[in-house]
Structure 1
Amino acid sequence: MQNETLSALETAVAHHRAGRFAEAEAIYDQVLAAEPRNPDALHLMGLILERRGELERAATLIGQSVAANPGFANAQESLLRVLRAAGRAGEAVAPAEALTRLRPDSLADLAQFGDLLLETGQAERAAAAFRGALARSPGDPALPFKLGEALLALADLPGALEQFRTAVIRQPSFAAAFERFDMVRRELETAAALQATLTRNREGAGLRGDRRLCTIYIKGYSRPFYIDRLIRSIGRCIRNHGPIVLLNDGIGEVYTDKLKRDHPHLEIRNSPKVESGVIAAPAGGLYHERKAFYRSLDFFDPARFWVREIRRDPNDYVMYLDEDLWFFREIDLEGMVENLRANGALGALLLYQKANLRAARQQRDPTVHQEPVGCGAVMDYYAARIDSLDYAEGYRINPGTITLKDYWVNAYEDCLHFADEMHQNRKTLQLFTALAARMPDLRMGILDGGAMKHSSSSTARPDAGGKILANRIAPDVFHDLLSRHWLEGRLDTMADFPDDFSIERLVGLMRGHIPEEQIAAWVEWQRDFVRMYHWLD
């Protein structure tokens, strides 16, 4: 039977190599019917399926081949390739690691293993793999670059800088390595400058000098009715604030004119995109497609606009807010900023957090001390730590914060797209870690109980793959409808304050403009949306 199987497989392989895939598949089927665990037939049949694009079935069969014969290097290599093509990079780590054992002299296998570990967020293991590869090939410029990327993911900026420098020395034309070297060098310089600012603030707390009251920046896109609510809440709740500046990246002139009439003190700065009349990328679609759209237009990405405007601010601390936030309690903004200066804090999160979220944060990062910051408010100061790139809640530039200006600029500078949170998280993680190495007593603040709330009214949310899922009502339609109601006096933006607009109120505004079946579907979805994000009690 074994000789018959071998002969059949030789015939099938000949068909396979000659491109007669149907004939080869028929013989593989016959062999597997007789020997379901035959590793060669499983592997070769998996290759037929891979060629047809049936990646999941291919992965299953090749995985069975590997299970039957773990030392089958070609099958391990095929499984790695198919799993990656199927978007299952996490599962591809096992065959990649197996190849490093089966072919211990292969530098390519070891480097590939490191690449996959880095891709799946296992930066520490990736760094170890790249170090092993470097020990075998110390002159290869690609390997220090890869190790530098792993160290960057671990927020080891000095180590990453040295590896990128090595890559550039070994290959002066290595543009990517030079760009990384320059980026890390600038981040280390920023860390040194921030350290000097924090130290100076602690030593000179209470001495205002030429400083002005803290500016409040509002990022505007498409919801002028929420901006009106935010500005009114500032007037109601905030003492001692500086200018209120709307960084407008998409709100039409008819709406900005009303905002200016209703709030004469508001300063409006339009982005180049608005000034030129170019509209934003349409809502929806794949995230990477929207990011590519903005990158292709270069200066039309709002992140560049924000960085340019906020960098000009004369103060060390700034407050920047998304358009759909608002204050619900009284705070003394300048008193709070002075307290941050005195404590050498990078910034403070002001967004409301429910009791269970506050308790989880306290368990993770215990409060070092508390201080009153005026108007009955108390700031929790804690010595924050960062465990991984994903853990960036208090350290990325959150849309409800006061923060050091240069810390904010660092997060958005060189951003490929204004909503690229992974970029922001990575840069704030790196900078925070570099600062913490210099300043063991580095502090972050969270206002106990918060002072701001966030909108929960939406018609779309992203899924895990970055695609916007609309609930039958396009976000643009929803926002335009509420904006028109506000413009024409039918929407009081302080209705239901300090909570968001009630579902019943929004339904009343939609009736007569949106089909009833769409409204009913939205109501069901909206209630689930609010529960999912815990934005309301």
Structure 2
Amino acid sequence: MDIVVKSFNRAFYLDRCLRSIYQYVRGDFQIRILDDGTPPEYLARIKERYPEVLIIRSPHYEAKVKALAAHVAGTRPFDQKIIPIGFWMDGIADATERFLLLEDDIWLTKELDMVAIDEVMVTHQLELVKLFWYSNPRLNSGRPVPLGAGVEEIIPKIPLATRTIFLNDFKVRSVLYRLGFFKFYNDFELWLPLYTFQTMASAFFRRDYWLALWTRDQTKLNEANPLRAAVKYHRTRGSRVGKTVEEYTRDSHTSSATNTYPDINLDPLVLSYILNEAWLRGDLDSYNNFPADFAPAHFKPLLDAAADERATYIEWLRWAERRKAQYQALGCVVE
């Protein structure tokens, strides 16, 4: 079975991700890294440490590497913000019929038997088995049915508010839109139950199911589109979805590829550059504080030494707390 890892410019996290895979995954697997712009010197170190991995570069790879270098040097703002959905689709089309999807800032925290989960997916015709949901029951809306091997099917139950407003089952959304209730119409909390059918990563997928949820003409990431596609798929084809009883992965709230806040002076691309360089020098331990996320004390001397006003330790702390608070407000458990 393939393990597909989507990656962009955070080699220090990619190292942690890969190291955890080799530590915890049981079964035969091939790791396929779909990389969209991690500078080549970092990928060379990754390949040196993990020679078995297959690294596939996106069509935008060279342009993004050049744009990152110019941004960090301060000569030109990063202008390559195309989300490579078509590239992901091509990479996953070449993957095994069922595959595990991760991202560079996701890591395993306990032993995972891929063979056992694969057998459950085949036997019970599951399209999806999630490994992680922030300990938030709202992301698994429905009744759990044990299937064995630590997997349970979720018999979905979509709340009336989600069906009425987000999915527009009764054409209410159209009326609200015309009346100008944009905040109500866009309320992200209405999306949460639909993550029962779809998740961005930390899950086993049936390949054709994942491909059915995406369209390659998208250049910006809008998670509402695959969520609606997943509900349509369920209604028309009777898809079956599940999750593990326990969570098997964690993800990062200490960095982001591009996420910013207007009142916080932190440039995430500069932050990633500083931390990537520290990792390349051997000053950043990718397993620091594992299996939890990196300890802030590990980053402080690195950011202080860099002395770049675009990524100071104090502003990074503010940024990280703001990011965590957004998830916590939705009922997610984060470190």
Q: TM-score, with normalisation over the residues of structure 1?
A: 0.50
Aligned to 1:490: 283
* Residue 431 of structure 1, CA deviation: 1.6
* Residue 270 of structure 1, CA deviation: 1.0
Q: Residues 394-438 of structure 1: CA distance to partner in whole angstroms, max 9, x if unpaired?
A: 2234211111111111222234125221222222222222112xx
In structure 2, what is the Cα distance between the partners aligned to 1:227 and 1:273? 19
* Residue 305 of structure 1, CA deviation: 1.1
1:352, 1:452 within 8 Å by CA — same for their partners in 2? no
Aligned to 2:187: none
In structure 1, what is the Cα distance between the partners aligned to 2:5 and 2:121? 21
* 2:112 equivalent to 1:345: no
Structure 2: runs of 5+ lacking an equivalent? 72-77, 168-190
1:397, 1:411 within 8 Å by CA — same for their partners in 2? no
* 2:323 equivalent to 1:529: yes
Match of 1:500 among 286, 293, 297: 293
Q: How many residues align?
A: 293
In structure 1, what is the Cα distance between the partners aligned to 2:10 and 2:256? 13
2:234, 2:240 within 8 Å by CA — same for their partners in 1? no
In structure 1, what is the Cα distance between the partners aligned to 2:101 and 2:132? 12
Question: One-letter code of the match for 1:447?
Answer: T
Question: One-letter code of the match for 1:382?
Answer: I
Which structure carries more relative contact order (alpha carbon 8 Å, separation 6+)?
2
**Are residues 264 and 293 of structure 1, via their aligned partners in 2, closer, same or farther at CA, if it must alter by over 3 Å?**
closer
Q: What is the aligned-residue RMSD (CA, Å)?
A: 2.8
Match of 2:31 among 244, 247, 261: 244
Aligned to 1:60: none
* Residue 220 of structure 1, CA deviation: 1.0
Aligned to 2:184: none
In structure 1, what is the Cα distance between the partners aligned to 2:318 and 2:261? 18
**Are residues 235 and 384 of structure 1, via their aligned partners in 2, closer, same or farther at CA, if it must alter by over 3 Å?**
same
Q: Residues 130-154 of structure 1: CA distance to partner in whole angstroms, max 9, x if unpaired?
A: xxxxxxxxxxxxxxxxxxxxxxxxx
2:89, 2:216 within 8 Å by CA — same for their partners in 1? no
Alignment of 1:38-57 (within 5 A): none
1:349, 1:447 within 8 Å by CA — same for their partners in 2? yes
* Residue 491 of structure 1, CA deviation: 0.8
Structure 1: runs of 5+ lacking an equivalent? 1-213, 284-289, 295-300, 437-441
Aligned to 1:398: 200
**Are residues 412 and 521 of structure 1, via their aligned partners in 2, closer, same or farther at CA, if it must alter by over 3 Å?**
same
* Residue 275 of structure 1, CA deviation: 5.1
* 2:179 equivalent to 1:407: no
* Residue 276 of structure 1, CA deviation: 6.3
More strand by share: 2
* 2:255 equivalent to 1:453: no
* Residue 481 of structure 1, CA deviation: 0.5
In structure 1, what is the Cα distance between the partners aligned to 2:211 and 2:55? 20
Match of 1:228 among 9, 15, 22: 15
Alignment of 1:78-93 (within 5 A): none
Tell me the secondary structure at the aligned position of residue 444 of structure 1.
Answer: strand
Match of 2:222 among 403, 411, 420: 420
In structure 2, what is the Cα distance between the partners aligned to 1:522 and 1:292? 23
Alignment of 1:130-169 (within 5 A): none
* 2:306 equivalent to 1:513: yes
Q: TM-score, with normalisation over the residues of structure 2?
A: 0.78
Match of 1:261 among 48, 60, 71: 48
* 2:268 equivalent to 1:475: yes
Q: Residues 89-109 of structure 1: CA distance to partner in whole angstroms, max 9, x if unpaired?
A: xxxxxxxxxxxxxxxxxxxxx
Match of 1:270 among 23, 44, 57: 57
User: Which of the two has higher C-alpha Rg?
Assistant: 1
Aligned to 1:328: 109
In structure 1, what is the Cα distance between the partners aligned to 2:27 and 2:98? 14
Question: One-letter code of the match for 2:125?
Answer: G
Aligned to 2:151: 379
More helix by share: 1
Q: Residues 115-167 of structure 1: CA distance to partner in whole angstroms, max 9, x if unpaired?
A: xxxxxxxxxxxxxxxxxxxxxxxxxxxxxxxxxxxxxxxxxxxxxxxxxxxxx
* Residue 293 of structure 1, CA deviation: 6.6
In structure 1, what is the Cα distance between the partners aligned to 2:92 and 2:276? 27
Question: One-letter code of the match for 2:142?
Answer: D
* Residue 303 of structure 1, CA deviation: 1.0
In structure 2, what is the Cα distance between the partners aligned to 1:449 and 1:492? 27
Tell me the secondary structure at the aligned position of residue 512 of structure 1.
Answer: helix
Aligned to 2:143: 366
In structure 2, what is the Cα distance between the partners aligned to 1:428 and 1:223? 29
Q: Residues 154-196 of structure 1: CA distance to partner in whole angstroms, max 9, x if unpaired?
A: xxxxxxxxxxxxxxxxxxxxxxxxxxxxxxxxxxxxxxxxxxx
* Residue 352 of structure 1, CA deviation: 4.8
1:455, 1:500 within 8 Å by CA — same for their partners in 2? yes
Question: One-letter code of the match for 1:487?
Answer: L
Question: One-letter code of the match for 1:329?
Answer: K
In structure 2, what is the Cα distance between the partners aligned to 1:522 and 1:338? 43
In structure 2, what is the Cα distance between the partners aligned to 1:505 and 1:274? 30
In structure 2, what is the Cα distance between the partners aligned to 1:238 and 1:411? 27
